[in-house]
Amino acid sequence: MIVSVQDLTVTYRGSPMPALSGITLDIAEGERLAIIGESGSGKSTFGLALAGLLPANTTMSGTVSRAGDRAPVGGRDIGMVFQDPGTSLNPVLTVGEQVAEVARRHLRLHWRDAYRRAADLLARVRLPDPEKALRAYPHQLSGGQRQRVAIAAAIAANPKLLIADEATSALDVLVQAEIAALLRELVEERGMTLLFITHDIALASTLADRIAVFRHGQLVDIGLAARVLGQPEPYTAELIGSHLDLQTPPLIDRPAA
Amino acid sequence: MSAPLLTVSHLSKRFATGDRRVAALEDVSFTLDRGRTLGLVGPSGSGKSTLSRVIMRLLEPDAGSVIFDGTDLLATRGAALRKLRGRLQMVFQDPVAAFNPRTTVGAALDDPLRIHAIVPRRDRPAVIARLLDRVGLPAALAARAIHEISGGQRQRVAIARALSTEPDLIVLDEAVSALDVSVRGRILELLVDLQRERGLAYLFVSHDLGVVRAVSHDVAIMDRGRIAEIGPAATVVTAPVSPIGQALVAAVPRLVLSPQDAPRA
């Protein structure tokens, strides 16, 4: 087990209602756990709480315990990828500086070695022309390329846990499929644990071993993907029923009311 | 067979970025009939938003024509254009950005009724109540501020505002993309019901092929400013012929409910 969460309740300052209430769940080492939910379900708050990124004035109760005896350090033990790489990357630093900085700080490499590692990582996330990309600024890259950079930075210090919060949601469908495949590969080859936070139940179903369903800050269900989706709780069944894909009978073919 | 409501012919539009000229639209042609929906899909940068902005006369194309109900839209100016604008409406992705943040729901709906002089002032409250009712909102919501209501309610108000001028065509640009799936389903049903009831035509722009499939009679797939393929929705979705169409169909995440059909890694 890599993280064990017991009765976690989180209330943001000034908010009458908790964003998360009484969440208990374990994350096993090496697993791919998807957190699915709609807006306001608390799924992003859960990711931030695990990464220790909640605002300082947030009220928290319950425990988050992690494997190992030292306190985890963000960036070193936990990598995080957010929805919008346009705002998660620093616009005035080159891509190379941002990826190398992680390796320099957490792996204590010299800049020269850190840059070499950054170039390798950019190649690994399949950024075209990684040597050139080292000197590029984020605005010179497309959205998909920026998300590849954000992933390279997130994994630069070999974290055990990678948290991807809606990491593919702002990308178009083609790029989304590529980034999802990349995350799957990286997690597999590096033995990382993946926490994949998404509103997209279909994406979760293709990517996760286990699925946790959040609603209004509460855990509705958690279990193996096949069980959670195959024998769904009523709310999960609603989400499944609302899903539209190419197999869904079109609305325009419904008989008129 | 009556003439199509909308005939778009050979539209081209280039944007200059630095010293390069990028083709946003390249010889785009299609027609749309009354009471029908054309879904427009494509990767980002494929030109779908540029196309909808040209049709709405928010952007001038470099070449080509747009005929709306027999009128050359691009040649129409001044009072004639203002009159025509009521018959073409648009609903955007982000209903927060699409409204004056300081306005109320009632005032947002009053504006088009006043500007297009559709109903006399004293009748407007009743018309606003009817519009709200038609999109499934209580009349009392008229007094609320736009920023107080939920995202789904706001998008219903945006649809009510579009309906207020009794349009023939509504361009829906990623209109349900920001909504939760449960809310999204009800908004799509509302759009389909309104179309049946009023014979509305929709140009439904979305990056989500699943959503487009649910509401479109025909689908056009755009790539780098061109229409790569266009045809009946069922055909395009089940047997796409263009490489980009095939890639988009393959990229739609499939909901895997049981382990038997799971592509296990």
Three-class SS string for chain B?
CCCCCEEEEEEEEEEEECCEEEEEEEEEEEEECCCCEEEEECCCCCCHHHHHHHHCCCCCCCEEEEEECCEEHHHCCHHHHHHHHCCEEEECCCCCCCCCCCCEHHHHHHHHHHHCCCCCHHHHHHHHHHHHHHCCCCHHHHHCEHHHCCHHHHHHHHHHHHHCCCCCEEEEECCCCCCCHHHHHHHHHHHHHHHHHHCCEEEEECCCHHHHHHHCCEEEEEECCEEEEEEEHHHHHHCCCCHHHHHHHHHCCCCCCCHHHCCCC
pLDDT less than 50: residues of chain B: 264-265
Please state, in angstroms and rounded to a whole number, the distance separating the CA atoms of residues B220 and A212: 37
d(CA B241, CA B247): 10
Nearest C-alpha in A relative to B37: A252
Nearest to B206 by CA among B160, B168, B252: B252
User: Chain B: residue nearest A210 by CA?
Assistant: B259
The minimum CA-CA distance between B110 and chain A, rounded to whole Å, is 30
Subunit contact B184:A176, Cβ cutoff 8 A: no
CB contact under 8 A, A248 and B215: no
Amino acid at A16: P
- Which residue matches tokens 């009632």? B106
On the 0-12 / 13-18 / 19+ scale of CB atoms within 10 A, B224 is middle
Closest CB to B252: pick one of A39, A245, A250: A245
**Which residue in chain A has the smallest CA separation from B151?**
A39
What residues in A contact B254, CB-CB < 8 Å?
A: 202, 205-206, 245, 247
CA distance B126 to chain A (A): 26
> Do residue B253 and residue A239 have CB atoms under 8 angstroms apart?
no
Q: Which residues of A touch B37 (CB under 8 A)?
A: 252
Mutation pick from A173, A209, A213, A220 vs chain B, by most beta carbons of B within 10 Å, is A173
The per-residue pLDDT for B259 is 60
Q: Tokens 């109900």 appear where?
A: B69
B180 → closest Cβ in A38, A247, A248: A38
CB contact under 8 A, B192 and A252: yes
Is the CB of residue B37 less than 8 Å away from at least one CB of chain A? yes
Mean pLDDT, consecutive 10-residue stretches, chain A (257 aa), reads 94 93 96 95 95 92 83 83 88 95 93 95 92 94 92 94 92 89 93 96 95 97 97 96 92 79
In this complex, the residue of B210, B215, B216 whose CB is nearest that of residue A246 is B210
Partners of B35 on chain A (C-beta within 8 Å) are none
Nearest alpha-carbon partner for B196 in A252, A149, A62: A252
Distance from CA of A58 to the nearest CA of B (A): 24
- How close does chain B come to A108, measured CA to CA in Å? 34
Query: CA-CA distance, B135 to B140, in Å (whole number)?
Result: 13
CB contact under 8 A, B248 and A174: yes
CA distance B193 to chain A (A): 8
Contact of A39 with chain B, judged by CB distance below 8 Å, is answered with yes
ipTM of this predicted structure: 0.84
Torsion angle defined by CA atoms of residues A142, A145, A150 and A152, in that order, rounded to the nearest 10 degrees: -160
